[in-house]
Amino acid sequence: MPKVLAPRDTIGILGGGQLGRMTALAAAELGLRTLIYQPERDGPGFDVATETMSGAYEDEARLAEFAARCDVITYEFENVPAATVAFLDALKPVRPGARMLSVSQDRLAEKDFITGLGIACAPYRAIDSLSDLEAAVAAMGRPSVLKTRRFGYDGKGQVLIRAETVLAEAWSTIGGQPAVLEGFVPFIAEVSVIAARGVDGSFAAYDLCENEHRNHILWQTSVPARVAPETADAALEIARKIGAGLETTGVFAVELFLVRENTGERLVVNEIAPRVHNSGHWTIEGAECSQFEQHVRAVAGWPLGSTARTGRAITMQNLIGYEAGDWLTLASEPGAHLHLYGKSEARPGRKMGHVTRVRR
Ligand code: AMP
């Protein structure tokens, strides 16, 4: 029988950024304790978790000490080393499991998995050398997108191959690391599904989110996405298949491109995030059960909560860098739900907070 947590049991969270922070807040509301572990001695999560620990992800003695103090373990970011999760999983249940992590950490494994389910993703080829890149670009054409297999986020670790791009330069820009070349998807919008799978295999998903990026960073999410009802249903079904295929437990996100053709709308999966997601922050005020509470429920072995929307239309806007300096103005706006992550220093591109507006 999968472990079910009781109130006052402890959820260990690897990573103490804003996602860990909002997860810890949700756990507290359900009477659960949290222990955040990360290498840094400070972070947004450390202000609100019940307890904190600093240690390297490679420090097995420290990790064992961490595991001994937890009833179940989760993580708030996908770049936690697979070896760390494997080590911890032998001591306490880690949710989501190792398969979700290994697939979502590696763009090639991810695309092989998605295609294997019969779900569309951008055409792709594995790239391990400059000559692989030359052959792939010759076959797939330009524009195309070169992405490192690992450690890419917010547009980092990727290069757009345009008509004039010198391939040797593109290859050196990504540091000559194992990569994939993707065909360019002529999308009209980017959408995401925030979904959850319970330990018993139950599934729940929120309404489809429509996401606008600026400088490769999520700027605004609007819900519901402006798509045909069949498209929204199809997106949720894609997420259900992915969650079941990975036998995951917890909240995860599927980012998709929306392509509009004469024949109608088509969805292409971009990537899977094995965790709560920035495009799901609106659920704190905009859904019956937030994505953070949902994740806590799932990893605790509790029943999933209702994903029903609480308003007609909801927007979530990130406060990036110095935008958070407007907090007094935002705090005085009626109906604006302001969230600040307590980061000490604003830097360009740094997510400092977000604001959600629910139209009823
Ligand atoms: P990613 O890091 O994979 O989420 O990519 C960052 C952004 O680059 C996406 O949000 C898209 O705007 C763009 N992008 C990535 N891959 C493709 C693609 N195959 N075709 C077109 N645009 C892409």
pLDDT given for residue 151 in this prediction? 83
Give 223 Cα–ligand 1 centroid separation in angstroms: 21
CA dist 14 and 81 (Å) reads: 10
Contact 263, 247 (CB under 8 A): no
Cβ contact 174:274 at 8 Å: no
Q: Which atom of ligand 1 is nearest to the CA of 107?
A: 3
pLDDT at 98: 87
Break the chain down into helix, strand, coil percent, rounded to 5.
Answer: 30, 30, 40
Residue 39: count of CB within 10 angstroms of its CB: 13
The encoded tokens of residue 78 equal 């996908």
Q: Which of 104, 147, 161, 270 to mutate to test the pocket of ligand 1 (most atoms within 8 A of CB)?
A: 270
Ligand 1 site, CB within 6 A: 122, 145, 152, 155, 158, 182, 184-185, 190, 213, 216, 270-271
Residue 193 sits at φ, ψ, to 5 deg, of: -110, 130
Residue 145 alpha carbon to ligand 1 centre in Å: 8
Paired tokens of 155: 């547009």
Residue 337 phi, psi (nearest 5): -100, 110
Distance CA 321, CA 88 (A): 35
| CA–centroid distance, residue 331 to ligand 1 (Å) | 34
Q: What is the pLDDT of residue 154?
A: 64
Tell how far the Cα of 39 is from the centroid of ligand 1, in angstroms. 30
Atom of ligand 1 nearest to the CA of 153: 2
Going by C-alpha positions, the residue among 236, 257, 234, 247 that lies closest to residue 193 is: 236
Q: Give the Cα separation of 32 and 15 in Å (integer).
A: 18
pLDDT value of position 231: 98
- Which residues in the chain come in under a pLDDT of 70? 153-155
Domains and CATH numbers, the chain: 10-94 (3.40.50.20), 123-183 (3.30.1490.20), 189-359 (3.30.470.20)
pTM: 0.97
Let me know: does 207 contact 188? Beta carbons within 8 Å.
no
Q: Which residues contact 152 (CB under 8 A, 6 or more apart)?
A: 107, 158
Q: For 264-284, write each residue's pLDDT tens digit.
A: 999 999 999 999 999 999 999
